[in-house]
Amino acid sequence: MTSEKLGALAQIGNSNLNRRALLSGGMGVAAISMLAACSPGGSTPASGSKTTTFGSGSSDDVPKRAYAAVVEAFQKKSGDTVKTNTVAHNDFQNNINTYLQGSPDDSFTWFAGYRMRYYAGKGLAAPIDDVWDKIGDNFSEGLAKASTGDDGKKYFVPNYNYPWGFFYRKSVWAAKGYTVPTKFDDLITLSKQMQADGLVPIAFADKDGWPAMGTFDYINMRTNGYKFHMDLTAHKESWDQKKVKDVFDNWKQLLPYQSPNALGLTWQEAAQLLGEGKAGMYLLGSFVTQQFTDAAVLADIDFFPFPEIAMEGMTAVEAPIDGLMLSKKGGTNAAAKAFLSFLGTPAGQEAYFSVDKSNLMTAKGADTSGYNEFNKKLADVIGNAKSISQFFDRDALPAMANNVMIPALQGFLKDGTIDTANLEAQAKALYAAQ
């Protein structure tokens, strides 16, 4: 089946798919089976091949063109051929398990953290230590650790990362006399003033279920510290305790200042509120800037980290790492390994950044002369962080994110209530089943 047909198939059941949505919904069993079965990966030659297939969930315009630039640069350098199969992002993530157990492409876009280790541990991904023997010196110790499975083998090549924080328009803030808050109380005070000035203080969108997780992550890290947050996502801490209730009590203070129709908005729609000067700020990843096609608006965007609440100041940063993995089948394809090796070089990451400047290159030696002051600021926030989290769905069990947190957080956004005892009961059952 062609990539165009796959893309059309991936639209089934969801016409508002997006770049960062996760595990929220899904297609019918027949469609899922068909998606896995019709991947072109099944016919790819094995070792010694000069042809490989690449499954991409980067379906939005900017990242799609960025990966096309990587493929073009690799083909020109190597003489190999890469056949790209792009599937709508939401469906790609929702159906990754079925995809990997069917006839997957040789390489595929994925994420560092627990979600990488989970599928590696299930034997659905190929180890790539031989690739890392070539590219290992290009990455920091932290990135190498984030690419390592529970068995000590490497399974992932980092392409880029990006911090989450508050984004805002400098001109709007200057006109209103707003200043960057460093304490949570200051954030509340600023939000009240923005509301009085006729703005939506905090643009917020959770139609697709995932953005609220980033807010939870930050409030938890700022309230209880990085270690507690990571232990909670690994279920080494109980969900039914005061520390978790404190997170939601703090969040309740922000609810009156978030977009009132958040459950009906996609992240792209909320980004437009910020771009149009109708919202004062927006908590999201730096990929939000992909939505600002007007150069003047893009140049007007600035960023500040989530303010301090009670623990560790602002030293913990949510900065997810995206990159590539090999399917089990792809581990026998020389061209597939060469493709991953290329992405792990400065040249490969420069090709991607030449199109998508909302994310930060991870390879040492990559030419950062194209970084503007905004990029440098984002890089400094990550570089100076004492602790880095991925994102709830990447640090936690996938089923916990999908089956438990999405409905729980959306319910909280509706009425401000949360049943922590139920969260704990579900977490016990899910983690015990692994």
Residue 281, in any domain of the structure = yes
The tens digit of pLDDT for each residue in 202-217 reads 999 999 899 999 999 9
Which residues in 246-300 belong to E strands, given as ranges?
A: 279-285
Cα–Cα distance, 57 to 41 (Å, whole number): 15
Q: Could you tell me if 79 and 144 lie in one domain? A: yes
The pLDDT of residue 413 is above 80: yes
Residue 87, in any domain of the structure = yes
Q: Could you tell me if 152 and 109 lie in one domain? A: yes
Helix (H) or strand (E) holding 187: helix 184-196
Q: Could you tell me if 220 and 137 lie in one domain? A: no
Average pLDDT, the chain: 89
Domain CATH for 249: 3.40.190.10
Q: Could you tell me if 180 and 156 lie in one domain? A: no
Cβ contact 395:114 at 8 Å = yes
Q: Could you tell me if 176 and 302 lie in one domain? A: yes
Q: Could you tell me if 266 and 412 lie in one domain? A: yes
The tens digit of pLDDT for each residue in 41-69 reads 444 444 567 999 999 999 989 999 999 99
Nearest partner of 263 among 414, 125, 393, judged by Cα? 414
Cβ contact 88:208 at 8 Å = no
Percent of the chain with pLDDT over 90: 79
The pLDDT of residue 2 is above 70: no
| This prediction's pTM | 0.79
Q: Could you tell me if 174 and 307 lie in one domain? A: yes
Supply the range of the domain harboring residue 273.
164-318+392-432
pLDDT at 13: 33
DSSP 294: S
Q: Could you tell me if 309 and 341 lie in one domain? A: no
Cα–Cα distance, 204 to 184 (Å, whole number): 17
Q: Could you tell me if 293 and 192 lie in one domain? A: yes
